[in-house]
Amino acid sequence: MVSAAADLILFGGPILTMEADQPRAEALAVAEGRILAVGDQSEVMALAGPNTERINLQGRTLLPGFIDAHGHFANALQVVAWANIQRPPAGPVSDIAGLQEVLRNHVAEHPVEKGEWVVGYGYDPDGLSDGRPLDKADLDAVFPDNPVMLIHNSNHGAVLNSRGLELAGYDASTPDPAGGVIVRRPGSHEPAGLVMETAFLPLFVHMPQPSDTERLKRFAKAQELYSSKGITTAQDGATVAGDLTLFQQAAREGYLQIDLVLLPLVLEVPGMLRERFPHFEGETLQLPKPALDSFGTYHDHLKLQGIKLIVDGSPQGKTAFWSEPLLTPGPNGEANWRGQPLVPPEVLNDAVVRLAAQGVQLFAHCNGDAAIAMMIEACRKAGLKPDQDHRTVIIHSQFMASGQLEKYAELGIHPSFFTVHAFYFGDTHIVNLGLDRASRMSPMASAILLGLHCSNHNDYSVTPIEPMRMVETAMTRRSRSGVVLGESEQVSAETALRAITIEAAWQIREESSKGSLAPGKRADLVILDRDPSSVADDELNGIAVVATFKDGQCIYGSATGAMP
Does position 496 interact with another protein (CB under 8 A)? The reply is no
End-to-end CA distance of the chain: 35
Q: Which stretch binds another protein (CB under 8 A): 30-38, 110-118, 129-137, 543-551?
A: 110-118
Closest separation in Å from C-beta 131 to another protein: 29
Does position 459 interact with another protein (CB under 8 A)? The reply is yes
462 or 559: CB nearest another protein: 462
- Residues 6 or more apart in contact with residue 358 via CB below 8 angstroms: 286, 287, 292
- CB count within 10 Å of CB 126 equals 8
Which one among 36, 93, 266, 508 touches another protein, defined by CB under 8 A? 266
Which one among 238, 384, 497, 527 touches another protein, defined by CB under 8 A? 238
Q: Residue count of the chain, please give it.
A: 564
Instruction: Scan residues 24-83 and list those touching another protein (CB under 8 A).
Output: 72, 74-75, 78
Instruction: Scan residues 393-452 and list those touching another protein (CB under 8 A).
Output: none
3 or 211: CB nearest another protein: 211
- The one-character DSSP state at 295 is B
- Spatial contact of 72 and 236, defined as CB atoms under 8 Å apart: yes
77 or 99: CB nearest another protein: 77
310 or 413: CB nearest another protein: 310
State the number of binding residues for another protein (CB under 8 A): 69
Q: 399 - beta bridge partners?
A: 441
39 or 242: CB nearest another protein: 242
Binding mask 337-376 for another protein (x = CB under 8 A): -x-xxxxxxxx--xx-------------x----x---x--
Which one among 64, 91, 306, 313 touches another protein, defined by CB under 8 A? 313
270 or 542: CB nearest another protein: 270
| List of E strands, 281-404 | 302-304, 306-310, 361-366, 392-396
Instruction: Tell me the DSSP string of 159-223.
Output: EE-HHHHHHHT--TTPPPPTTEEEEE-TTSSSEEEEEEETTTGGGGGTS----HHHHHHTHHHHH
Cα distance between residue 278 and residue 392, in whole Å? 29
Does position 264 interact with another protein (CB under 8 A)? The reply is no
Instruction: Scan residues 139-178 and list those touching another protein (CB under 8 A).
Output: 145, 147, 154-156, 163, 166-169, 171-173, 175, 177-178
- The one-character DSSP state at 68 is -
190 or 253: CB nearest another protein: 190
243 or 551: CB nearest another protein: 243
Instruction: Scan residues 175-234 and list those touching another protein (CB under 8 A).
Output: 175, 177-179, 189, 198-199, 201-202, 204-207
> Taking the C-alpha atoms of 85, 87, 91 and 96 in order, what is their torsion angle to the nearest 10 degrees?
40
131 or 278: CB nearest another protein: 278
- Spatial contact of 262 and 247, defined as CB atoms under 8 Å apart: yes
Q: Which stretch binds another protein (CB under 8 A): 256-264, 456-464, 508-516, 552-560?
A: 456-464
12 or 242: CB nearest another protein: 242
Residue 270: how many CA atoms within 13 Å on its side-chain side? Answer: 7
- Residues 6 or more apart in contact with residue 517 via CB below 8 angstroms: 15, 16, 17, 18, 19, 25, 28, 35, 38, 62, 63, 64, 525
Alpha carbon separation from 15 to 247, 456, 495 (Å, rounded): 34, 21, 16
Closest separation in Å from C-beta 161 to another protein: 12
Omega cis (within 30) before 402: no
Burial class (CB in 10 A: 0-12, 13-18, 19+), 50: exposed
- Spatial contact of 533 and 493, defined as CB atoms under 8 Å apart: yes
Closest separation in Å from C-beta 262 to another protein: 14
Closest separation in Å from C-beta 430 to another protein: 21
28 or 182: CB nearest another protein: 182
Cα distance between residue 68 and residue 500, in whole Å? 7
Does position 252 interact with another protein (CB under 8 A)? The reply is no
199 or 433: CB nearest another protein: 199
* Phi, psi values for residue 435, rounded to 5°: -65, -40
Closest separation in Å from C-beta 147 to another protein: 7
Does position 310 interact with another protein (CB under 8 A)? The reply is yes
For another protein, the binding residues (CB under 8 A) are 72, 74-75, 78, 113-116, 145, 147, 154-156, 163, 166-169, 171-173, 175, 177-179, 189, 198-199, 201-202, 204-207, 237-238, 240, 265-268, 270-271, 274, 284-285, 310, 313-314, 317, 332, 334, 338, 340-347, 350-351, 365, 370, 374, 459, 461-462
